[in-house]
Structure 1
């Protein structure tokens, strides 16, 4: 793969907590414009990997590159400032403020611009939640709160968006809408989704990386991953080597 096409790269990345190795020598490349899904059962290491990509945790060893720049030792605010939009599993919103006010704060803080209103309107509109703009976030349903936070991320105009279990706790209807939103966002941005819900992943995935016991078990198209016996065994709780 030409270096100019690689947006995110990890090289022999590892994370240890005492005597426990959560991520064990993971090397991975994600291209510009890609929608990559990082999947695996609970405890596979994917969330730890996500937290290292977003500088919420520091690797024990290895390197992380963003568009060829080594960001391994960067702080989280610097990673965000480099065009990386981050949405964690639990919504980080201000319940006492309206949806518009939440998104406006994000646009104003992360984008030093005299026209935050344009960014706010674009973010709310792109997610189809303009009707929620005047409502207090604390009064919204869980899925709506998730979309407000995603609008906050988009208001920063990132080139790549990293999402950690974006549909956790959502209804089937909210999950389906979120899948549509992610596919639409991928038309203009690189998207990385960390998830364990295979039903949701089937709605959006093209390329999939499967984590198991802190390592990459498989990496392929979604069509091929669904046929992979090792992956099926891992999700059913059997030994991958069986």
Structure 2
């Protein structure tokens, strides 16, 4: 009798080629959104050599919403995202992911594991690899040495990659080198790389910078489609693009929230008009 025939049913199940071994998978951590809010930012302060980058900033993002952050250069948009993702430590304040995860006590990798993904303005894809390979590399798996060596794509993971390729509109380019994609397609691929890691919260920085009008329209459709299943925060300077996707807009100025509401409410806000147009209210 062969060794394989001697295996128990549990052993055979473990050795299936499409089986994901539990110890290879990262631990899932629940996020408490029982109050419908997924991100709490309260009393956030941060100074750089006397410059107040964040000034008693308060921000609340509902679970599943699409929120746009706007403001002039230096308003605190990027610094805020740096603090949320653990790249920069603040001087004081609190940042919670749901009600149960204090982000200020977490490292960047730990914050990513919780389900917070960030896309920077310039696309950072692996240009010498195919679109498919980029997505495979971004799957939410244990990235340790042994788990990586033993990793195998499962039907579920293959289905997830196909699903994301459909969402980002790159099914026909799946085996194309990422370096051969257009600028807009690289942006979509990077959003896809976030999506396969199954984030709850997406931070997207200036997604349409340098895009054609057609690519901008497609990006608006893409980001709008993600809201609900995901929470999406978009930082953008293109006001027409913001108008096309935003239900709620938050205006930052000198490290604080200056105004918040619909695009029409924000554009007609006397403080926003005075600050950005230099007009007397």
Equivalent residue for 1:12, pick from 39, 43, 47: 43
Give, in whole Å, the separation in 2 of the partners of 1:61 and 1:173: 43
Equivalent residue for 1:135, pick from 168, 176, 180: 176
Give the unaligned 5+ runs of structure 1. Answer: none
Preserved CA contact (<8 Å) 1:12 1:26: yes
Q: 1:108 to 1:29 in 2, by over 3 A?
A: closer
Give, in whole Å, the separation in 2 of the partners of 1:140 and 1:110: 29
Preserved CA contact (<8 Å) 1:14 1:21: yes
Give 2:147's aligned residue.
none
Q: What TM-score does the superposition give when structure 1 sets the normalisation length?
A: 0.92
Equivalent residue for 2:198, pick from 149, 154, 157: 157
Where do 4+ consecutive residues of structure 1 move more than 3 Å? Answer: 108-115, 232-236
Give, in whole Å, the separation in 1 of the partners of 2:124 and 2:201: 19
Give 1:91's aligned residue.
123
Q: Determine which structure has the larger strand proportion and give its number.
A: 1
Shift of 1:135: 0.9
Which one has the largest radius of gyration? 2
Cα offsets for 1:121-172 (capped at 9, x unmatched): 1111112211111111111111110111110000011122111111122122
Q: 1:200 to 1:116 in 2, by over 3 A?
A: same
Give 2:146's aligned residue.
none
Output aligned runs, 1:116-127, within 5 Å.
Answer: 116-127=157-168
Give 2:248's aligned residue.
207
1:103 is the counterpart of 2:144: no
Partner SS state of residue 78, structure 2: helix
Give 2:16's aligned residue.
none
Equivalent residue for 1:178, pick from 215, 219, 243: 219
Give 1:47's aligned residue.
78
RMSD: 2.0
Give, in whole Å, the separation in 2 of the partners of 1:165 and 1:213: 19
